Structure 1
């Protein structure tokens, strides 16, 4: 995620320039002529330098919090919800991730229609309220935590996540992919900050105080970022967003590269969330000590920051679709490595390698699906639909892994399950990359032939 996760109209700089050359940004593929986005530039009230750090802060609050659920999984299993199985507990994090990611199918179209401020402020209010309500949940009361943390936080974060990522593309052109990967690193920073804060307060101060302190941190960041966010382009508001989404889905269903990419993200996300949810609990049950186990997730997410920051540069060199396929295969290999996890060294090695490549993978998801778009006006819809399927994968992955784990902590079963499913997703990414490469080659040949024909006609 992270399905980290990200509805942005971005792609690597080279791919963006190429797509803009070959398409009209006012395409009517999704919207009718009277519904086209008015790209009239508003007064420059905010510089790109300011936009990036504000979005960075919002990512700490949204996906940074969601990918820190491994801390709660461990604490709930051992202390606060000890009367509930780990599989049932994981539904809290899975539902949170599902809602936050899958809402993109609706939020993306609302953002394209100009409801940016309504989404940002409404999401911030609900997110803050839900986090404070979480602090009021009583021990053993599963439904209270599910409603506040699973559903409330998920909806609030989902309303903020995609619009905050998308707005960055309005302020960056040549270095858009690099800017997006830097912004996406905010969720990795959040997934380090939240676990460190929670692991040092839950046992020492108690659940209620720790949850309120965490809610206060998130609320403070939202109060800084939301009032300063500004749109640069003024889209038109009108038309039927839901009908547009349905028309877009029918068009995209005829694109093989997009279909395989969507299957890839929907299945690989199961592999992605297994280490995120269970690495801390795994370390605890293997007797590696609380002092180290508390930082197992921090090690993984800390390396994820480095992966996100370097992902754009790597993708510009080798191509975004091929890079995503390669990184996903490496993550799958690390997931299988959980079978042999039994020492501090093994946790550190797997955490470092998986964290880096998983972070890079998440940072490139937006550019990956943007690279498959025929026109930049399609990107929001393509990302929203793809991330809906990713949400389904994130919903079922954690609970299935928890059920396979059982109360006897049989770790090889969920590791094998997650690895096999992730391997299928990586294969889908590879097929998508091959199809996209062939499509681009055919387009270049067609464009060359048309150019040659035009030159001959002029002569």
Structure 2
């Protein structure tokens, strides 16, 4: 169909929309551009002038993209969560300091975030599927090469560098694709997609942990690689970018105009503070349980699995609340506050039962905060990514900046712990205060967009 306008009101950039499938809810693709210019036309789903003419907000094809995003997040988020198992094996087999081994996982996470700027820009240029396919290939190559590695430098290049680059290329396109299909249900769609992090965080650690004693490390890693191959194949099969545009020429990798917009800059600063402290919990929950709550190294692994499992239902729940009641930005602020309180509550944990309770609480609050982050940055009313044609670029820029937070946060906590003679209390205080500061900073960005109004769904 053609979006019709009166002749005397026809916008300068007319958009022709062709239905892909009537049975799939007439999901359109745009023939002469990715989206109309902001404010150039109406929207059949109540477009707020953010530049996209029509949002299906449902249908078979749209929800299939959510499933594809869930699978990709299982790789990009879940595969990295398995590094705690690798850390234990490498420390025992290579007889190297834990700090040196941890650089493999830290570099993987760092490159995962850094590559988001490249992947986001490629997605905005119309290469979303190609970017995911290339990233999938690189990530699988790194995984299978890890199974063949026997020395530190080989493992570092395969698992740290190669896999990190591949995972970074895979993640970003899913956000831009989902944002083009959903508006009113965007937070829920992104939350269900990001719940894949919890799914992968259970599957990959369990596969490696329980197969190493039975078939050895190389084949355990290969089995994880075959699982990853199955997941990635389904994701690439299901993925269908909605805005099929003529491939745009390469432009600036960074949208520098975003740094002249105070709400975006303030929001990114708040998110940086959140992610600076976030991985302290992931990296140290097992070590703390062994040192202060009478856990064995084997039983401590269960804490990480519990933390990741709780995040699976938490993310869709938070997305539904954001869409139906609070709005993504408001939800993001509240979830950061809850995570900050959890970090401070960690100070009182000293027994196995309370340690398990903390694992559940931390799993819920950190999953809620990270899920709300994506919805807040991509929210149609937040004003942080107004132009859909620049959604991937801006989101990727933010993730790249967060990469420096994730790579420096755990070492910062480690320095504090070492300075305090192995006690965690001041590191826990640091994490709580930094996270509270992140919540306050994001609240400033929220007020900048909506004004000092409390009862505003944004």
Question: Would you call these one fold, judging by a TM-score over 0.5?
Answer: yes
Q: How far apart, CA to CA, are the structure 1 residues paired with 2:415 and 2:108?
A: 18
Q: How far apart, CA to CA, are the structure 1 residues paired with 2:45 and 2:240?
A: 27
Note the alpha carbon deviations across 1:395-437, whole angstroms, 9 max, x for none: 1112333344449743334333333332322221121122222
Note the alpha carbon deviations across 1:116-161, whole angstroms, 9 max, x for none: 22211111111111011111222xx332222111111110011111
Q: How far apart, CA to CA, are the structure 2 residues paired with 1:272 and 1:331?
A: 9
> What value does the CA root-mean-square deviation take over the aligned residues?
3.1
Shift of 1:54: 2.4
Note the alpha carbon deviations across 1:310-361, whole angstroms, 9 max, x for none: 0112212112112111111211222233333332122212111121121121
* 1:191 alignment partner, SS class: helix
1:194 and 2:200 aligned: no
Change (3 A) 1:169 1:335: same
Equivalent pair of 1:112/1:235 in contact (CA under 8 Å)? no
How high is the TM-score relative to the length of structure 2?
0.81
Change (3 A) 1:178 1:282: same
1:424 and 2:437 aligned: yes
1:367 and 2:367 aligned: no
Q: How far apart, CA to CA, are the structure 2 residues paired with 1:304 and 1:88?
A: 29
Q: How far apart, CA to CA, are the structure 2 residues paired with 1:202 and 1:418?
A: 34
Change (3 A) 1:49 1:373: closer
Flag the structure with higher helix content. Answer: 1
Aligned partner of 2:295 in structure 1 is: 288
1:54 and 2:104 aligned: no
* 2:260 alignment partner, SS class: coil
Question: After the TM superposition, which residues 22-33 of structure 1 pair with which residues of structure 2 at under 5 Å, given as runs?
Answer: 22-25=49-52
Change (3 A) 1:361 1:311: same
How many residue pairs were aligned?
A: 407
Structure 2 gaps of 5+ residues are 1-34, 36-42
The counterpart of 1:97, out of the listed 99, 104, 109, is: 109
Q: How far apart, CA to CA, are the structure 1 residues paired with 2:152 and 2:102?
A: 11
Aligned partner of 1:355 in structure 2 is: 363
The counterpart of 2:345, out of the listed 337, 342, 353, is: 337
Q: How far apart, CA to CA, are the structure 1 residues paired with 2:314 and 2:204?
A: 19
The counterpart of 1:313, out of the listed 312, 320, 329, is: 320
Change (3 A) 1:220 1:374: closer
Q: How far apart, CA to CA, are the structure 1 residues paired with 2:360 and 2:198?
A: 13
The counterpart of 1:268, out of the listed 266, 274, 277, is: 274
Aligned partner of 1:63 in structure 2 is: 77
Change (3 A) 1:439 1:369: farther
Q: How far apart, CA to CA, are the structure 2 residues paired with 1:98 and 1:82?
A: 25
Q: How far apart, CA to CA, are the structure 2 residues paired with 1:18 and 1:265?
A: 30
Aligned partner of 1:239 in structure 2 is: 249
Aligned partner of 1:326 in structure 2 is: 334
Q: How far apart, CA to CA, are the structure 2 residues paired with 1:73 and 1:111?
A: 34
The counterpart of 2:48, out of the listed 4, 18, 21, is: 21
Deviates most, 368-377 or 353-362 = 368-377
1:300 and 2:307 aligned: yes
Shift of 1:267: 2.0
Shift of 1:106: 1.8
Structure with greater contact order relative to length (CA < 8 Å, sep ≥ 6): 1
Deviates most, 394-403 or 110-119 = 394-403
* 2:333 alignment partner, SS class: helix
Aligned partner of 2:393 in structure 1 is: 381
Shift of 1:199: 2.4
* 1:201 alignment partner, SS class: helix
How high is the TM-score relative to the length of structure 1?
0.80
* 2:434 alignment partner, SS class: helix
1:133 and 2:145 aligned: yes
Q: How far apart, CA to CA, are the structure 2 residues paired with 1:368 and 1:17?
A: 23
